[in-house]
């Protein structure tokens, strides 16, 4: 069989592209993944205790875009869920992101109005003319004391490099509030697929024009005929690392199950200081599953392993620019997704990027 498109990677970007090309354009698709499952890092499954867990860390869907919700709602029903996080500072659990309660608990203040917190931040903050790093971003907003307590060590553990080297966008993703709003995200829509991400992806690609093959590495794929390639894997790997290897951060998960309904009062607890792990995740808060037991995961960031997070530094940006120039020379390959475009994207951003690519293809511009 000859396929119209070979799509490498059955994660979020690959599944969206396969669904659109098959359903809207009537194209024949071969969708492959080197892993034994679909869904990429959004993959979830039931562990040996029957508890639904996220296999690559918690994935919280949030967006301000109604059209993205409308699109995904074709493939899933939803559970309303607002993600909340506490951070252990001086043996006290305080809200993260920073809000008025965080300030009051850490500094033993009694602020009741947002203006009081703004004045406090104004006294604490450092004036930095040009915000070039994550450290610059935080210190210029809330000062060095809160930075040292909540960001400095956590960021180093998470990324393996200091925040003064990381792009400002990394810590800039986290809101800083003067109110009592303790949600982790500001977005208008904060939802979880009711029956899990994996089931949503299976529904998405359930189409006679889509053939799925797992446990297949693109580089070992032989004798398949297709017109065009959509690549969602590592962009540097595609070009055989000709300009050097792009850095990624990975995670080692340590799971533990307890004979109680819940262990934590929120889904995620951050450990910004001496612990080797960065956070503990209790999945039942996220999934809403009813079960007499509960499973948590401790996350230990590591340098080698499955590529989870592109590391945004000036050096890595320059390496990626070289690969981007190589990609622009190819008219039979399109690169999409977090790894293929080396961007630290949220899920809605991956969908938006994939939809933009599909529109270009549908309109004959790709």
The whole-number pLDDT of residue 61 equals 97
The whole-number pLDDT of residue 223 equals 82
Contacts of 185 (CB under 8 A, 6+ apart): 60, 62, 82, 83, 175
* Mean pLDDT of the residues in the chain: 96
The whole-number pLDDT of residue 191 equals 97
Element (H, E) at 159: helix 153-159
Give 250's pLDDT tier (boundaries 50, 70, 90). very high
Return d(Cα 134, Cα 167) in angstroms, integer: 6
- pLDDT of 38 above 80: yes
Extents of the domains making up the chain: 2-38+205-247+311-362, 98-172
Contacts of 197 (CB under 8 A, 6+ apart): 39, 42, 43, 44, 54, 59
The whole-number pLDDT of residue 259 equals 97
- Residue 223's alpha-carbon distances to 133, 219, 332, in angstroms, are 47, 12, 17
More confident residue, 224 or 40: 40
Return d(Cα 281, Cα 264) in angstroms, integer: 9
Contacts of 219 (CB under 8 A, 6+ apart): none
Angle between helices 114-124 and 100-107 (to 10 degrees): 60
- pLDDT of 68 above 90: yes
The whole-number pLDDT of residue 363 equals 87
- pLDDT of 366 above 80: no
The whole-number pLDDT of residue 216 equals 95
The whole-number pLDDT of residue 66 equals 98
- What's the CATH number of domain 2-38+205-247+311-362, 3.40.50.11810, 3.40.50.720, 3.40.50.460, 1.20.120.450? 3.40.50.720
The whole-number pLDDT of residue 221 equals 87
Per-residue pLDDT tens over the stretch 74-131:
999 999 999 999 999 999 999 999 999 999 999 999 999 999 999 999 999 999 999 9
Token representation of residue 64: 């301000």
pTM for the full model?
Answer: 0.94
251: β partners: 301
Per-residue pLDDT tens over the stretch 201-230:
999 999 999 999 999 999 888 888 999 999
């Amino acid at each position: 069989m000859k396929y119209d498109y070979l799509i490498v990677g059955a994660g979020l970007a690959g599944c969206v592209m396969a669904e659109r090309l098959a359903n809207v354009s009537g194209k024949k698709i071969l969708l492959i993944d080197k892993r034994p499952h679909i869904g990429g890092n959004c993959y979830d499954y039931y562990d040996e205790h029957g508890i639904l867990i996220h296999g690559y860390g918690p994935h919280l869907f949030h967006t301000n875009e109604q059209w993205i919700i409308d699109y995904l709602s074709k493939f899933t029903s939803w559970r309303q869920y607002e993600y909340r996080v506490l951070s252990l500072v001086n043996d006290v659990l305080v809200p993260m992101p920073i809000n008025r309660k965080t300030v009051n608990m850490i500094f033993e203040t009694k602020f009741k109005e947002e203006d009081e917190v703004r004045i406090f931040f104004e006294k604490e903050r450092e004036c930095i003319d040009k915000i070039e790093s994550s450290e610059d971003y935080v210190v210029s907003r809330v000062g060095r004391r809160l930075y040292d307590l909540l960001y400095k060590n956590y960021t180093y553990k998470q990324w393996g490099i200091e925040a003064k080297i990381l792009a400002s966008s990394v810590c800039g993703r986290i809101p800083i509030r003067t109110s009592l709003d303790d949600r982790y995200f500001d977005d208008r829509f904060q939802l979880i697929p009711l029956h899990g991400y994996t089931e949503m992806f299976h529904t998405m690609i359930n189409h006679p024009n889509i053939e799925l093959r797992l446990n297949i590495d693109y580089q070992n794929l032989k004798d398949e005929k297709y017109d065009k390639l959509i690549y969602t894997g590592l962009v540097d790997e595609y070009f055989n690392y000709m300009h050097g290897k792009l850095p990624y951060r990975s995670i080692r998960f340590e799971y533990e199950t307890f004979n109680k309904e819940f262990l934590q009062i929120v889904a995620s607890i951050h450990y910004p200081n001496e612990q080797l792990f960065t956070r503990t995740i209790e999945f039942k808060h996220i999934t809403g599953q009813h079960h007499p037991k509960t499973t948590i995961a401790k996350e230990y960031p590591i340098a080698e392993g499955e590529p989870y997070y592109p590391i945004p530094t000036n050096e890595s940006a320059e390496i990626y620019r070289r690969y981007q120039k190589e990609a622009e020379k190819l008219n039979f390959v399109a690169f999409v997704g977090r790894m293929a475009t080396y961007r630290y994207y949220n899920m809605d951003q991956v969908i938006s990027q994939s939809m933009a690519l599909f529109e270009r293809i549908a309109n004959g511009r790709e």
